[in-house]
A and B are shown apart, each in its own frame.
Chain A
Amino acid sequence: MDKKIFIVEDNQDDLIIAKRYLSHAGYAVVFSTADAAEGVRKAVEEKPDLVILDTLLPGATGFEVCQQIRQGCGGLGPKIIITTGSIDAVDAVKARKMGADDYCAKTSDCAPLLEAVKRIFSEG
């Protein structure tokens, strides 16, 4: 069964790269948005298998979005990976506290993200 993946990312270039690499690896990104509130609403409503969050979003941080999804789903909900492309914003301790399942850096070849996605789905 195909896994449903959502992406909340405001940088169009980063979004295109992530979608391309994920689809090449056999995953389907069924929904993406740059809007944090919309991301939370859709994730809570549709409960995808995985939500990939950018750290720096307009109006909210990926940490906040992660926490709101967890709260909205009553503590459980989809698997969540938080990503960052900024050295200044790296904080995996905070990501875990807010309920993220994994955390990785954004790169031009998406290697860390693909590894994290594979790990999450193999863990079940």
Chain B
Amino acid sequence: MEGKEGFIEDLKRRCDNAEGELKKARDELEAESWGLVKTNEAIKVLYRELDKKNKQLQTLDQLKTNFINTASHELRTPLTVIRESISQILDGIHGRISSRQREFLSICLEDVDRLKRIVDDLLDISKIEAGEFKLKKENTDIIELVKRVIVYFSPKAKGLNLELRVNFCSEALLVCIDRDSMIRVFYNLIGNALKFTAKGYIEISVTQSPEWVECSVIDTGKGIFEDDLLMVFGKFQQFSNAGVSAEKGTGLGLNISKSIVELHGGRIWVESTLKVGSKFTFTLPANSKIAEVKDAEENTSS
């Protein structure tokens, strides 16, 4: 009998234990389930909040773009008038001026030009951001284009005792590009290279693969700090390692260049080693040949 009672007691105790454990497990499960529901809820709310903030930022950004656009237009007109007036005085149209007056007016003209470049850059940036920067693409000989840019920079390079080298894959190379915009990219890249190179050379190379035309501007300048490499294409970025030339940039040139290259369907990047030099490379789709082949096919079939 005693054995039987003991067995029942033991069974009862085990049942109680199991029930306790079951309750504990159920409570834990409930807590877990509550936590998961609340987590899910909080994440949803936070994503909605992020979305709301993002929209507010976009509106602010649009307001900023509109402001820059309007301000730039308003600045451009008086600047043109000032520039023209100073030029006329310097040209002697309104009488003789002393060398001292000429010196001061020349400084004025330089700064007016710089201001004009900034205004032009700001206008372009606002157009790019508003999606209003339109390319007038046509088949253009990029080698001839680069040669023209080099002619412009030659006296300056000579004055700085820097060699301008070229490395072209062929005599002529047709690419479907917006001529004026592309000249601007080369101006920016070569202009920067001249600014930051004290001795050595600047090499402009144009090479071609079946799909891409690759253009590079290589210099033997001071190079760019690794931390700066990621930011060189950002807006208002000025290189921290001061250059040889006194001419100050707007800090917008590389940002505009990047946008122009990307609008052409290309890519731009930079490689640099401190005290060795930098290499800016951009690609353009080699699509003009494809366009020619298509034209030829259409002509044959008709």
Contact = CB atoms under 8 A, between A and B. Distances in A.
Contacts of B43: 87, 90, 105
A91 to B, nearest CB: 6
Q: Chain B at the A interface: mostly helix, strand, loop or mixed?
A: helix
Contact of B31 (A97, A104, A108): A97
A104 B35 CA distance: 11
A92 B49 contact: no
B46 interface: yes
A84 interface: yes
Interface string A63-104: 000000000000000000000111100111111110000111
A104 B49 contact: no
B38 to A, nearest CB: 3
Interface residues of B, number: 17
Contacts of B104: none
Interface string B31-51: 110111111011101110110
A107 B35 contact: no
A5 to B, nearest CB: 20
Given A96-B31, A97-B31, A87 B38 contact: no
Nearest to A92: B38
Nearest to B38: A92
B32 A93 contact: yes
A58 interface: no
Given A96-B31, A96-B34, A97-B31, A90 B49 contact: no
A94 B5 CA distance: 45
Contacts of B46: 84-87, 90, 105, 107
Interface of A: 84-87, 90-97, 102-105, 107-108, 112
Interface of B: 31-32, 34-39, 41-43, 45-47, 49-50, 52
22 contacts: A84-B42, A86-B46, A87-B46, A90-B46, A92-B36, A92-B37, A92-B38, A92-B39, A93-B31, A93-B32, A93-B36, A96-B32, A96-B34, A97-B31, A97-B35, A103-B38, A104-B41, A104-B45, A105-B41, A105-B45, A105-B49, A107-B49
Given A90-B46, A108-B49, 10 more contacts: A85-B46, A86-B46, A93-B31, A93-B32, A94-B35, A95-B35, A96-B31, A103-B35, A104-B38, A105-B41
